[in-house]
């Protein structure tokens, strides 16, 4: 089976690629930055890397030729120069759908966000919803996965929390009243994606994918701090201050410690899908809780934030 993955060198894309490769799939990985093949994915005749920024339907159609499915994982959580939500999420998805039709790819699996919805005042959420609607109305067989916070090796959640705890002895939580989260491990998510891609399941469904355990961000942070052996103080600060800090981080850091879209996400909680959607079948429900074992599997090498993390020092 031949599968194309947009955002193939990103966090979700490369984990999905490794999972599919272990099941003897032939892969076409698309990356807008032309990055080298991730170490987690051995090279060889079964993997082809294509540099494509989702703007050219002809290039995408050529990359998708002969594929049984496309996993559309490309996305951004902040706007930077020409990389806008409209260009990547909306126009990019429209081009991916058009390329699937041109290349006669029968199936598309789209990674959306749990709280993506229209008319909510967040460009990130609204652009993801527009992309969902493009996929739903494409005429293709589709599966849309509305995922919550995903963690694992190479993510932003564990990466930023652990580096933060080696740099600062504290964590300010979002809002004076914390909202709950249900972090889902990348292994659980890739199993759901593989079921849609390889097994032909979850056809024409929009499904919520959340973790096995509900907890507060402060509780999750303290578990991470305990695993990395750091003592931290957790305290709440108003959402408005987090937006100010996020704006500063977006201006100064290559990968922001927090982005404004993430502040919005945490301020409303990451537990329930909005609007409500289909539930996963029981055998595909994520079963791995946010334990020390799962945290340890996903942690980056220990260390604090450094000058190389700043955009000016890139």
Residue pLDDT, tens place only, 8-36: 999 999 999 999 999 999 999 999 876 66
Tell me the chain's radius of gyration from C-alpha atoms.
Answer: 19
Residue pLDDT, tens place only, 171-227: 999 999 999 999 999 999 999 999 999 999 999 999 999 999 999 999 999 999 999
Residue pLDDT, tens place only, 45-98: 689 999 998 999 999 999 999 999 999 999 999 998 899 999 999 999 999 999
The whole model's pTM is what? 0.95
Q: What's the pLDDT at 35?
A: 67
Percent of the chain surpassing pLDDT 70: 96
Tokens 């790819």: give the residue: 105
User: What CA–CA distance (Å, rounded) separates 240 from 263?
Assistant: 9
Q: Which domains does the chain have, with CATH numbers?
A: 2-150+185-209+271-287 (3.40.50.720)
User: What CA–CA distance (Å, rounded) separates 147 from 270?
Assistant: 9
Q: What's the pLDDT at 42?
A: 65
Model confidence at 295, pLDDT cuts 50, 70, 90, reads very high
Q: Is 274 exposed, middle or buried (0-12, 13-18, 19+ CB in 10 A)?
A: middle
* Residue 90 DSSP label: I
Burial 29-65 (b: 16+ CB within 10 A, else e): bbbbeeeebbeebeeeeebbbbebbbeebebbbebbe
Is the per-residue pLDDT at 257 higher than 90? yes
Q: What's the pLDDT at 309?
A: 92
By the 8 A CB rule, do 158 and 270 touch? no
């Amino acid at each position: 089976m031949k599968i194309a993955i947009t955002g193939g060198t990103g966090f979700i894309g490369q984990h999905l690629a490794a999972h599919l490769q272990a099941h003897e799939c032939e892969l076409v990985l698309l990356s807008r930055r032309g990055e080298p093949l991730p170490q987690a994915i051995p090279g060889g005749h079964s993997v082809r890397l294509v540099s494509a920024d989702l703007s050219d339907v002809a290039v995408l159609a050529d990359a998708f030729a002969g594929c049984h499915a496309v996993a559309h994982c490309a996305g951004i959580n902040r706007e930077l120069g020409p990389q806008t939500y409209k260009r990547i999420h909306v126009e990019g998805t429209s081009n991916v759908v058009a390329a699937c039709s041109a290349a006669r790819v029968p199936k598309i699996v789209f990674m959306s966000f749990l709280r993506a919805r229209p008319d909510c005042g967040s460009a990130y959420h609204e652009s993801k919803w527009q992309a969902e609607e493009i996929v739903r109305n494409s005429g293709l067989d589709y599966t849309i996965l509305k995922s919550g916070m995903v963690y694992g090796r190479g993510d932003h959640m564990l990466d930023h929390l652990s580096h933060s705890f080696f740099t600062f002895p504290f964590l300010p939580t979002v809002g004076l009243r914390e909202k709950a989260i249900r972090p889902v491990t990348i292994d659980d998510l890739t199993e759901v994606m593989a079921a849609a891609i390889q097994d032909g399941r979850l056809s024409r469904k929009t499904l919520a994918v959340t973790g096995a355990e509900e907890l507060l961000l402060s509780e999750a942070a303290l578990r991470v701090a305990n695993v990395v052996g750091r003592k931290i103080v957790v305290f709440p600060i108003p959402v408005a201050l987090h937006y100010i800090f996020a704006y500063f981080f977006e201006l100064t850091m290559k990968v922001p410690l927090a982005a404004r879209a993430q502040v919005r996400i945490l301020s409303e909680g990451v537990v329930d899908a909005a609007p409500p959607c289909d539930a996963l079948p029981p055998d595909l429900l994520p079963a791995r809780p946010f334990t020390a074992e799962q945290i340890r599997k996903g942690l980056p090498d220990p260390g604090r934030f450094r000058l190389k993390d700043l955009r000016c020092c890139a």
